[in-house]
Amino acid sequence: MSKKDTFIRGTIILAAAALVARVLGLAQRIPLEHMLNDIGDASFTIANNVYLMLLALATAGIPSTLSKMVSERYALNRPAEAKRVYQAALFFSAGAGVVMTLLLYFVAPYYATYVAEVPESAAAIQALAPALLLFPTIAMMRGYFQGRNFMTVGGVSQIVEQIARVVTGIGLAYILVRLGYDDTWVAAGASFGGVLGSIAAFGVMIFFAIKLRRQDRKQNLPGADRSIPLGGIYKAIFTLSIPIVLSSLAVPAINFIDGSIVKPLLTGEIGAEEATAALAVLGTRAQSIAGIPPILAIALSQSLIPIISAAYARKDQDHLQRQVTLALKISILTGMPIVLALVAASYSVNGLLFSSLNGSGIIAMLTFGTIFQITMMTSGSILLGIGKAKVSMVHVMIGIVIKLGASALLAPLFGIYGIIGATSLCFLVITVLNLRAIKAIVPFSILGSRWTGFIITALAALGIGYGVNQLGIQMVDLMPARLAFFITCLLVGAVVVIIYLVLLIMLGVLRQSELSSYPRLLQKLFRPLMRLQPSRLRERG
């Protein structure tokens, strides 16, 4: 197998692993929501958001930086130096793991009681804390293997980790429910699945590390060069990685903020019980559903990021302009129909997946805002691809400040919907700032004069989809409710996607001349539909 084929195969496996991890993460919330009450749901949400925030701080950016440094040194035939870099990263990860675990465990009671105002969540946070012992090291090992061009190892460990986490978390929660424990301990049991997932992932990485060490010995490769001082290595790692770490914090930080402020901001307005119920719906239901639209859109657009990076390095402005435009266009065009379908069918999705119909409006509003999350993440990735991580970092920090301020202003007026609106505003502001920064480097236009056709398409698909949903839910009087909701979800999804695709073509938002630049999957989807486009638009190209 050629190096190119190996790289492509590894990239596909990494993308598949990320997709599996996302889907399993979403799937875990559904059975837990049926087992837990509002206190349990809120506790699990808070624990998960705190954990993901600290995990991003401990690991985001550093593995990719390590991969780059290791790859460069092996390319220069300096394996001893590469292994010293890896050794330094492992020393850091071990220390970071201990510090993060102790910090999370001992601060959990104070945070749960006085910040999040859900004291029952302390046990769930503490149960998840030991996972941070291993995850920083796992992340460094994944980065090292990628630097050595063993791309599949990280993907395999990620899939094993997620399967172990979800299965054991749900299993422990079920056992504790059957044994009669209250929701505080059931949520803690579900959280502890993350610890078992980390052990499984670490086992996979150790297995491959032993295999790689044996292979290196056979090739008589030298060990780590201990004469290289660690200080210089750490300076290089952190100089490159800190902007990436802070740039990647947007979504984990927003979820962490929501878990921390919902009860403090809403208790005085609607009471502690209703505020806890709102947090439970936001964390367990709405964030789960809202996590679906970015999966495909971000995967498709990020596949273009290496091409963008290469074009920028070559100073090929024309190619860079085309690829930046394409990445943003694909992310919007592929993300929007999923957003519209889920918003239109939010009532039926809620009834199908969860234990009650409470919070359908919360699900709809948070999901609608993910179109701005998609554009924020895509534009942020473009900035990283062209070496502007510090710029992206500043924009994320500005967005987080706006999120905090807008939540404080809007929550007294609109309750939980004000907090969700502040999240969408945060993503929108970061998107606008990112796009301005990109335009200063390369001029581009996403849809140009076609925005009107795109907005008409989106509104028509949403309106018709909502109408189908309202008709479909009448079937609850004729058959079991979940079956009626399932059929309605299928109908709404099909109608929204069909209307969306047909109107994109008929209104000229998509043109025949553009298809060759799209990924093959989208070419196969759009090409047969181009016959629906009026001839005057086809001639215009």
DSSP annotation string for 86-148: HHHHHHHHHHHHHHHHHHHHHHHHHIIIIISS-GGGHHHHHHHTTHHHHHHHHHHHHHHHHHT
- Cα separation, 61 vs 422, in Å, equals 27
Of the candidates 64, 52, 222, the residue with the CA atom closest to the CA atom of residue 128: 52
Q: Is the pLDDT of residue 540 over 60?
A: no
Residue type, 292: I
Q: What is residue 103's predicted lDDT score, i.e. its pLDDT?
A: 92
293-302 residue pLDDT tens: 887 666 655 5
Identify the pLDDT of residue 188: 95
The pLDDT mean for the chain works out to 86
* Helices 416-441 + 370-385 axis angle, to 10: 30
Where is average pLDDT lowest: 22-31, 200-209, 264-273, 463-472?
A: 22-31
Least confident of 62-71, 152-161, 189-198: 62-71
Q: What is the 3-state secondary structure (H, E, C) of 433-459?
A: HHHHHHHHHCCCCCCHHHHHHHHHHHH
Q: Which of 111, 104, 11 is CA-nearest to residue 58?
A: 104
The amino acid present at 211, given as its one-letter code, is: K
Handedness of CA 398, 401, 407, 410 (dihedral sign): negative
Q: Which of 116-120, 207-211, 448-452, 527-531 has the lowest mean pLDDT?
A: 527-531
Residue 121: which residues within 8 A CB-CB, separation 6 or more?
42, 43, 44, 46, 47, 112, 187
Quote the CA–CA distance of 355 and 150 in Å, as a whole number.
Answer: 43
For the whole model, what pTM was predicted? 0.86
| Torsion sign (Cα): 128, 132, 133, 135 | positive
Classify 443 in phi/psi space as left (phi over 0), alpha (psi -120 to 50) or beta: beta
Cα 198 from Cα 193, distance rounded (Å): 9
* Residue 246 clears pLDDT 70, i.e. is over it: yes
Cα–Cα distance list, 451 to 79, 329, 339, 438 (Å): 52, 11, 17, 20
> pLDDT-based confidence at 468, cuts 50/70/90?
very high
CA distance 474 to 487: 11
DSSP 191-240: HHHHHHHHHHHHHHHHHHHHHHHHHHHHTT-----TTS-HHHHHHHHHHH
Look-up of token digits 């948070």: 366
The confidence band for 83, taking pLDDT boundaries of 50, 70 and 90, is confident
Per-residue 3-state assignment (H helix, E strand, C coil) for 488-532: HHHHHHHHHHHHHHHHHHHCCCCCHHHHHHCCHHHHHHHHHHHHH
Distance separating the N- and C-terminal Cα atoms of the chain: 40
C-alpha to C-alpha distance for 138 and 276, rounded to whole angstroms: 35
For the segment 3-13, what is each residue's pLDDT rounded down to a tens digit? 444 444 555 56
